[in-house]
Amino acid sequence: MTSAIEALRLNADYYILKPCEPEEMHFRVSRCLEKLELRRKIKAYETILPVCCVCKKIRDDSGRDPGTGEWLSVEQYMWTKAGLASSSTYCPACAEKATEQLKQDI
């Protein structure tokens, strides 16, 4: 009984008494592997950052139920998560496009 209580304290999924039937062992191991796979999937989904495809705001779900977080601008998100301030500028490709657009407008 002591080992069963200790196993539960250590977050064991199952506790099987010896001797056990091979079918039960197979079933328990299969269930453990299924749970492991589900935990891996959850971890993978937790790394996805939800970004609006129109306005590019980011949903910050930290500390909330998934899908209920506040929508923040990229700048706000960077400041909140990393304490980084941003400045606006052009990458070389966008600078070239902007220059071309200005030439056409003149």
3-state secondary structure at position 14 = coil
CB of 72 closer than 8 Å to CB of 60: yes
3-state secondary structure at position 48 = coil
The model carries a pTM of 0.48
pLDDT in tens, 19-56: 889 999 999 999 989 999 998 988 887 778 899 988 99
